[in-house]
Amino acid sequence: MFKRFHCKNFNVLDLLTGRVATNIADSLFYMTILWFFKSKFHSPTIVSLIFIADSTIDTLAFAFGPVIDRIKIKQLLQKVNIAQTLLSLICIWLFQFKNCQTIAIVALTGIYVFSTIGSTLIYPAESKILPVIVTKNKLPKINGLFQMTYQSLDLFLDALATLLITLYSFSATMAISALCFALAIIFYRQLHLPKIENTNHADRNLLKNYLFDLKEGWQTLQHEEQIFALILPFAITNLFYGIAAVGLPYFTSKYISHTAFGYGSLELISSIGGLIASIVIQRLHFKQKKLPNLVTLCLFLAGASIIFEVLTAKYFLLLILIFAFSSSFWIGLMNINFEILVQESFAPKILGRIATINSSIINCMIPIGSALGGIIVQHLGANFAIMSQGMAEVITAIFYLIIFAKF
């Protein structure tokens, strides 16, 4: 028993350390590409290619689920990071292109797409691994630990990336990214995972296997009525999140500071709210049947916080920060509890498909919201854009309350 406990603790440590290295590498890679496009090509249209690539891949995440559930998960983690290391090194070479801007734009955009796809494969793999190496009663604590670590990294990673680019160069920053991707491989290699049952259909060809697995994932999710009922309204709520995201820089310019400091301050406070949520969740444990109600409560309080943030903005600056912190805290609690609910409701062999389908449904409306946000902010103002997110979250929570009363 001691050996099993010891092994599983080292598995958690290796997975967490590998994910930290991957997160650092991802952030450096993203910021380096973004700022290279911004500083070298001076075109918002070209810069928007990064955001389009991100949102499109998030929306199509469901297509990667069968791959995650079919391939040995340890091999997947290692191979993806090897590929991302090589892609980072290719970027360093492309940064040297001085007179072939079109080639550089096309190549770097393609590399960014492939690296982002790799990250889209890795993140759901964590959800698939944790229920296998952690006992059910430890899932809230371990999920909280992972989220606490990610939130802590978010507090400084973007600033670190821009500092490295400023002090050194695009190539040097990308080289550090490549080193972090390579470091993650070492820790993923040390994972000792029990055999996870994977789908295997020897009588079908590759395409039929893929389509069958994809269909099986959708059908399995639909049979979990509570989770399916939670996911679909999230997509509509995130439409308004996309709208509010466009309005936020204008909101902070109006009420906090006309400089980037105002926006950065609100983002910092929000990150701290998410960090505190990840710490709190480690000390709480709720039965599975209580989790949907907890998600509902958290969403309602998050939406109410956003509404009060807008209503009190013109009176006290401190209230803006307090309600921004409150909203992120409740959203953080909600997200972690939703993750636990999914992990406890599905077998590990299908979690890859479930996680990616969830991601696709939840994120599919954000690009539309972002497009509408520019129009809404221009004609109705930033306050209306942000208020719409709070109202959407409160209405969705009330809808959940009605729906779950029937279960």
pLDDT tens sequence across 323-336: 989 998 998 888 87
Q: What is the pLDDT of residue 307?
A: 93
For 304, the token pair is 């109410």
> Tokens 């999914």 map to which residue?
342
First to last CA, the chain: 39
Stretch 80-89: mean pLDDT, rounded? 94
Q: What is the pLDDT of residue 5?
A: 40
Mean pLDDT of the residues in the chain? 79
Q: What is the pLDDT of residue 284?
A: 66
Stretch 26-55: mean pLDDT, rounded? 74
Determine how many CB atoms are found less than 10 A away from the CB of residue 315.
10
Q: What is the pLDDT of residue 201?
A: 47
**Could you report the per-residue pLDDT of 3-14, keeping only the tens digit for each?**
444 445 788 888
214-404: CATH topology is Growth Hormone; Chain: A; (1.20.1250)
Select from 3.90.1300.10, 1.20.1250.20, 3.30.310.50, 3.40.50.2300 the CATH code of 2-198: 1.20.1250.20
Is-same-fold flag (2-198; 214-404)? yes
> What is the band of 407 on the pLDDT scale with cuts at 50, 70, 90?
low
Pick from 86-100, 152-166, 301-315, 342-356 the range whose average pLDDT is largest.
301-315
Q: What is the pLDDT of residue 88?
A: 94
Q: Would you kindly state where each structural domain of the chain is located, as residue ranges?
A: 2-198, 214-404
For 272, the token pair is 């701290």
Q: Please check the confidence at residue 225 and state whether its pLDDT lies above 80.
A: no
Contact 81, 182 (CB under 8 A): yes
**Picking from 46-60, 76-90, 172-186, which range would have the lowest pLDDT averaged per residue?**
46-60
> What is the band of 203 on the pLDDT scale with cuts at 50, 70, 90?
very low
Pick from 18-22, 254-258, 259-263 the range whose average pLDDT is largest.
18-22
Angle between helices 2-41 and 73-94 (to 10 degrees): 20
Q: What is the pLDDT of residue 259?
A: 63
Q: Please check the confidence at residue 200 and state whether its pLDDT lies above 60.
A: no
> Which one has a higher pLDDT value, 159 or 241?
241
In percent, the amount of the chain with pLDDT more than 70 equals 84
**Picking from 184-193, 387-396, 397-406, which range would have the lowest pLDDT averaged per residue?**
397-406
Q: Please check the confidence at residue 82 and state whether its pLDDT lies above 70.
A: yes
Stretch 96-125: mean pLDDT, rounded? 82
Stretch 255-284: mean pLDDT, rounded? 75
Closest CA to 59 of 242, 287, 289: 242
Q: What is the pLDDT of residue 159?
A: 66
> Which one has a higher pLDDT value, 330 or 199?
330
> What is the band of 43 on the pLDDT scale with cuts at 50, 70, 90?
low
For 402, the token pair is 């009605």
**Could you report the per-residue pLDDT of 134-177, keeping only the tens digit for each?**
777 777 777 777 877 876 787 677 667 777 887 888 899 999 99
Contact 97, 91 (CB under 8 A): no
Q: Is 373 exposed, middle or buried (0-12, 13-18, 19+ CB in 10 A)?
A: buried
Q: What is the pLDDT of residue 285?
A: 64
> What is the band of 243 on the pLDDT scale with cuts at 50, 70, 90?
confident
Q: What is the pLDDT of residue 391?
A: 94
